[in-house]
Every structure is written in C-alpha cells, then in structure tokens.
C-alpha cells in the first residue's frame, strides 16, 4: 500500500500545549498521496488542533513535520500554502456578492503588469479548475446564486488554485443534502485519482468507511488507532473513539423526578436548499430530570433548542409548560413562561464581553430591579453577588468586564444569567465546551444541584461520556430526527450507533 500511496507529509511526536491543557500528546500522523486519509474523534479529541498545525494556523510546542521527507516549519498559513497544503473549513469562507472566479482568487488575483486585475485570465483559470472538478459552473456567476454543495466545490477550487497537493476537508458534508454529498464524493474521487492527498474529517461513521483509504483515531489528544481502512467497521471506530475510561463527573444527588414540566410536539425547522434542520421532533421533560440530547455535528441539537426558546419564529411546532401551550413566538414570552437557554457560543450569543460581570448576570432579568422606569443599582448588585456566591464564580470584582474571566467562570455567568429568570426548564447547549476539566466538574455539580431543586434540565452534547454520565434519559438525534431514546443503563455503543447519520429510528428501553 505504501508504494501505491506514498507518504507526502509526516508529523512525528507532535505536542501542542495551550494554557492549562495539552491538546496534542506525542501524535504521529501520515498523509498518503492519492488517498483519502480519514481523521476521526470526539469533539475535543485534538482533530482541529492537528489540522491547524498542518495548515500553518498554529505552531507545534514539540515535534516535527516533514514534507516529502524534508523537515519543514510552518510559521504561518502562507508557509503551508507554499508547501502545497490547502484546507477547507467547515464554515465556508466565501463572499456571496462576489463572482465565483473572484472568490476562487480572492487576495491572489492575476494582474496585468501588477496594476490591473486580469479578469479574463482569472475567469479562464477558474473555468479550468472547475472543469478539473467536473463542475459546469459559470465563473462569472455570483456565488450567492449557487447551492450550498456548489459553494463547497468553489471552496475546494479556491484551495486547488493555490496548487494544493494536500487538501484538508473539515466536516465537508455536515450541511449538504444527499445529492450534494454524492457530487462531493465524485470530486474527491477525481482528486484522489490525480494524486492529491486528502485528509477527511467527519462524524459520519458510515461515510468514513465508504470513502476512506486509511483511518486515524484521536482521543484526548492521543492516537488510539491508525490503520488501512480494510476491515474497519463502525464498532471498531466507536471503541477507538471512546475507549473504556470514565471521566470525573459529579455524583448524582438523590431526589424524586416529578411530573412533566415541558413538552414539544412536531417541531420542524426547514433549512435552505431543502430538507429540515429539525425534522418533526417531539419529546417531553420532567421536573427534576436531566434529559440529554446527544448527537454529532449537524444532528439538529442546537437548532431544536433555538426553536424552543423562540429564536426561529418561522419554525413549526407546539410547546407546553406544565400543560399550558405557549402561543407567542417571542423569546421574551418564552423566558417569562419559564424557559431559559444557555447557548453553545457563550462569547457571541450568551454574554457581552465588554460589559461588567454584574451587568451580564442581570441582563435577562432587569425588570426585577426596575421601579417606575428607574433601575436600582444597589438591588441589582446585591442579586448579582448572591449568584456569584451560589455558583462559586471566581471574580476579583463584579464590576470587572466578563472577558476578564476564565472560560469556565464565563460559562457560570451565562448559567447565572439564565437562572435569574427563575426558569422551570433550563436548556443548556454544549455546557462544558471549551472549558478545562476542573471547570467541567463545577458545571456538572451545578447541573446536579439544579435538577435536585426541581428544575427540568435539557442539555445538548456531542460528548457521549457526558451524555451517559449526566442524563437520566438520553434522546439521540441524527439528520434532524430523533433516532433513539435510551436510559443510562444502555450500552454506550448502542447509543453511539444511533447517532450516526442515516440511522433508522430505534427505541431504547426508556422510549
């Protein structure tokens, strides 16, 4: 196999240290040319860090990289581009108002005498690349007129225009329809036949088996499996991904789970290009219950929680709090009826970084501190101090900007902001994302305590260990649908298998 697929890039003993964490721990990784090199692992396993190192976005703390056997050092992305490495991130980095050819050559436009952009040459070269990719796309077409799958091809063309010999594709099918996936797979097959080395990152396990030639599995920054794809099946990947270790989770607090506190019926959210981000989902949650929603990238977990809080007024569905149907679609009305959301991206959607910790905590409940159109700063400060103490938020002063806090403490502020609205149902989207182990333990403790107080907690996660350890029940989603409902005694492999896109709906013992 080595002769058929020569190694174009090697990385040896790679270590990447960030403050408080080792993202990569002595990783060895080979990229073989003319082959699809699959990279898989849970969120936080180190996949993105490894790709950032290879593409020049990050530099190694220790270790070495060699291209065609020659040691190299990528100080920035331009160094990697010159070595023939291109990367297509999951979030497309394109300009919808510019033409296809302008997007392909953005920042590297061909010019006449270094003075004027040679639009004809740019269009001709773009057409040649698109033809190479077997795409009949007019280079002068505004990018915004293209379907998402075609835009993905344009992103690949942009990398090939930089003479990429190694192409990294990060979750390239997460937002594509089945038809667009087939187009992308044909493009990948053509590139592979032309000798391009492809690194393919995806959570879609069946997809990996179908398209991959070699597979490398990462877990907690370490390689736990690397081999030819021959003979690899889903159980082997799952075992390599999750292993047998248990992480440190807060112990359950004994309490009775109460009656139904929330119910969603037939929730549907259409997505651009056809299909549904949330495909007619129904479920209920009880007072004092921790209900986990487990799913991989593109499963629809985040969109479901956003529908519940009212972020998508165009969505279909019915919502009930303690049996009473909610009629209004406004976020303020949902909050007033006892629903609160801690969003996945706390920095963008959850907090205002330049504002004080006190101001962020009280942002959703200012009415409580207002009398006759005047805000009582003393009452606001007193209430903020109560929640800082209750959630053990480590602050020097509540008047410091929230950006001065660590990730874990910022997450506690986001949770505190939600709790100040006195919710019956607390929605948490990836509550432990981007925080260290100690902060995770604190967040888990808070979740346990809140459930013991009778609050219904619905949390979305892509970490299977987190779902299994914290949940009283687990709903599994894939492709916008519920594909399984399980209790915490269900074997892990069964839950993971239900999360793979393309899975038919199944029922667990607690369905």
Dihedral angle computed from the Cα positions of residues 422, 423, 429 and 430, in that order, rounded to the nearest 10 degrees: 60
Residue 3 or 41, more confident: 41
The pLDDT, as a whole number, for residue 36 is 96
Given a contact cutoff of 8 angstroms between Cβ atoms, the answer to whether 37 and 207 are in contact is: no
Whether 332 and 355 share a structural domain: no
4 pLDDT exceeds 90?
no
The pLDDT, as a whole number, for residue 288 is 93
DSSP string computed for 120-144:
HHHHHHHHHHHHHTT----TTSBGG
The pLDDT, as a whole number, for residue 409 is 84
Give residue 190's pLDDT band: very low, low, confident or very high (50, 70, 90).
confident
Classify residue 451: in a domain, yes or no.
yes
Segment 355-378 mean pLDDT: 88
The pLDDT, as a whole number, for residue 283 is 96
Whether 301 and 333 share a structural domain: yes
Dihedral angle computed from the Cα positions of residues 209, 214, 215 and 221, in that order, rounded to the nearest 10 degrees: -160
The pLDDT, as a whole number, for residue 292 is 95
364: tokens are 């959703």
365 pLDDT exceeds 50?
yes
What is the 3-class SS of 251-271, one letter each residue?
CCCCCCCCCEEEEEEEEEEEC
Give 478's strand partners: 481
Segment 185-210 mean pLDDT: 87
The pLDDT, as a whole number, for residue 162 is 82
126 pLDDT exceeds 70?
yes
The pLDDT, as a whole number, for residue 502 is 63
Segment 254-283 mean pLDDT: 90
Q: What is the pLDDT of residues 129-179, one digit of tens each?
A: 888 877 888 999 999 888 777 888 888 888 888 888 999 988 777 666 667
Mean pLDDT of all residues belonging to the chain: 86
The pLDDT, as a whole number, for residue 353 is 87
> Would the pTM count as exceeding 0.85?
no
Q: Look up tokens 């087939």; give the residue.
A: 182
108: tokens are 């590297």
Whether 81 and 185 share a structural domain: yes
Whether 124 and 219 share a structural domain: yes
CATH number at residue 24: 3.40.50.300
Q: What is the pLDDT of residues 375-424, one digit of tens each?
A: 888 888 999 999 898 888 888 889 999 888 877 788 889 999 999 999 99
Cα distance between residue 168 and residue 159, in whole Å: 9
Classify residue 221: in a domain, yes or no.
yes
Which stretch, 104-108, 194-198, 251-255, 504-508, has highest mean pLDDT?
Answer: 194-198
Whether 433 and 498 share a structural domain: yes
Could you tell me the end-to-end alpha-carbon distance of the chain, in angstroms, rounded to an integer?
A: 46
The pLDDT, as a whole number, for residue 1 is 45
Classify residue 160: in a domain, yes or no.
yes
Given a contact cutoff of 8 angstroms between Cβ atoms, the answer to whether 343 and 428 are in contact is: no
Given a contact cutoff of 8 angstroms between Cβ atoms, the answer to whether 21 and 14 are in contact is: no
Q: What is the span of the domain harbouring residue 448?
A: 248-338+423-511
The pLDDT, as a whole number, for residue 340 is 93
Segment 481-508 mean pLDDT: 79
Classify residue 162: in a domain, yes or no.
yes
Whether 128 and 25 share a structural domain: yes
Classify residue 454: in a domain, yes or no.
yes
Dihedral angle computed from the Cα positions of residues 398, 332, 407 and 359, in that order, rounded to the nearest 10 degrees: -20
Give residue 246's pLDDT band: very low, low, confident or very high (50, 70, 90).
very low
Whether 406 and 432 share a structural domain: no
Classify residue 507: in a domain, yes or no.
yes
* Helices 407-419 and 437-452: angle between axes, nearest 10 degrees: 20
Dihedral angle computed from the Cα positions of residues 106, 112, 116 and 117, in that order, rounded to the nearest 10 degrees: -30
Cα distance between residue 487 and residue 137, in whole Å: 49
422, 454, 475 — which closes off a domain?
Answer: 422
Classify residue 401: in a domain, yes or no.
yes
How many C-beta atoms surround the C-beta of residue 82 within 10 A? Answer: 13
210, 242, 274 — which closes off a domain?
Answer: 242
Segment 105-120 mean pLDDT: 85
242, 270, 296 — which closes off a domain?
Answer: 242
H or E element that contains 468: helix 464-470
H or E element that contains 78: helix 77-82
Whether 509 and 438 share a structural domain: yes
Give residue 507's pLDDT band: very low, low, confident or very high (50, 70, 90).
low
Give residue 43's pLDDT band: very low, low, confident or very high (50, 70, 90).
low
The pLDDT, as a whole number, for residue 511 is 41
Burial 164-200 (b: 16+ CB within 10 A, else e): bbbbbbbbbbbbbbeebbebbbebbeebbeeebbbbb
Whether 439 and 479 share a structural domain: yes
Segment 273-299 mean pLDDT: 90
C-alpha 509: how far from its chain's center? 29
Residue 407 or 32, more confident: 32
Segment 74-81 mean pLDDT: 89
199 pLDDT exceeds 90?
yes
Cα distance between residue 277 and residue 480, in whole Å: 5
Whether 149 and 186 share a structural domain: yes
The pLDDT, as a whole number, for residue 289 is 95
Whether 391 and 448 share a structural domain: no
Whether 295 and 399 share a structural domain: no
DSSP letter at 231?
Answer: T
Give residue 274's pLDDT band: very low, low, confident or very high (50, 70, 90).
confident
Classify residue 205: in a domain, yes or no.
yes
DSSP letter at 261?
Answer: E
The pLDDT, as a whole number, for residue 164 is 85
The pLDDT, as a whole number, for residue 301 is 92
Cα distance between residue 290 and residue 311, in whole Å: 23
* Total number of domains constituting the chain: 3
The pLDDT, as a whole number, for residue 177 is 62
Distances (CA, A) of 490 to 106, 133, 203, 219, 456: 51, 45, 21, 22, 22
The pLDDT, as a whole number, for residue 148 is 74
Q: What is the pLDDT of residues 418-467, one digit of tens each?
A: 999 999 999 999 888 766 556 677 788 888 999 999 999 999 998 888 88
Segment 254-270 mean pLDDT: 92
Which stretch, 25-34, 74-83, 168-177, has highest mean pLDDT?
Answer: 25-34
């Amino acid at each position: 196999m080595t002769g058929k697929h020569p190694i174009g890039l090697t990385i040896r003993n790679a270590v990447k240290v960030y403050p408080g964490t080792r993202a990569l721990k002595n990783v060895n990784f080979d990229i073989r040319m003319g082959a699809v090199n699959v990279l898989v692992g849970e969120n936080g396993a180190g996949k993105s860090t490894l790709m950032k190192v290879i593409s020049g976005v990050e530099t190694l703390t220790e270790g070495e990289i060699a291209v065609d056997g020659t040691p190299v050092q990528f100080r920035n992305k331009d160094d990697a581009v010159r070595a023939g490495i291109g990367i297509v991130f999951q979030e497309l980095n394109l300009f919808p108002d510019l033409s296809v050819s302008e997007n392909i050559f953005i920042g590297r436009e061909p010019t006449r005498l270094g003075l004027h952009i040679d639009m004809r040459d740019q269009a001709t070269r773009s057409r040649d690349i698109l033809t190479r990719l077997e795409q009949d796309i007019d280079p002068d077409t505004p990018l915004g007129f293209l379907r998402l799958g075609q835009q993905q091809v344009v992103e690949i063309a942009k990398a090939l225009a930089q003479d990429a010999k190694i192409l990294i594709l990060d979750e390239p099918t997460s937002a594509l329809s089945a038809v667009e996936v087939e187009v992308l797979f044909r493009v990948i097959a053509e590139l592979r036949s032309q000798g391009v080395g492809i690194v393919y990152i995806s959570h879609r396990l069946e997809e990996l088996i179908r398209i991959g030639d070699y597979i490398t599995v990462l877990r907690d920054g370490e390689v736990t499996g690397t081999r030819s794809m021959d003979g690899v099946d889903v159980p082997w990947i799952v075992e390599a991904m999750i292993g047998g270790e248990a992480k440190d989770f807060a112990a359950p607090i004994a309490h009775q789970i109460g009656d139904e506190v929330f119910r969603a019926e037939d929730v549907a959210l259409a997505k651009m290009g056809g299909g549904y981000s949330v495909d007619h989902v129904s479920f209920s949650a009880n007072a004092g219950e921790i209900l986990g929603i487990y799913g991989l990238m593109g499963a629809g977990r985040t969109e479901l929680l956003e529908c519940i809080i009212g972020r998508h007024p165009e969505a279909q569905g019915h919502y009930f709090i303690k049996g009473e149907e909610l009629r209004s679609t406004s976020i303020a009305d949902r909050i007033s009826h006892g629903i609160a959301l801690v969003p996945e991206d706390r920095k963008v959607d959850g907090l205002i970084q330049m504002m004080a910790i006190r101001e962020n905590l009280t942002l959703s409940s200012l009415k409580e501190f207002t009398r006759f159109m005047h805000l009582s700063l003393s009452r606001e400060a007193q209430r903020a101090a109560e929640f800082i103490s209750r959630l053990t938020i480590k602050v020097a002063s509540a008047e410091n900007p929230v950006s001065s806090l660590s990730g874990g403490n910022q997450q506690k502020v986001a949770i505190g902001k939600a709790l100040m609205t006195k919710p019956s149902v607390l929605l948490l989207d990836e509550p432990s994302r981007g925080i260290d182990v100690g902060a995770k333990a604190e967040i888990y403790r808070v979740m346990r305590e809140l459930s013991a107080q009778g609050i219904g907690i619905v949390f979305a996660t892509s970490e299977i260990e987190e779902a299994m350890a914290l949940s009283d029940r687990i709903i599994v989603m894939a492709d916008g649908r519920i594909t399984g409902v399980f209790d915490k005694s269900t074997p892990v492999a069964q839950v993971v298998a239900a999360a793979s896109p393309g899975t038919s709906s199944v029922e667990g013992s607690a369905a």
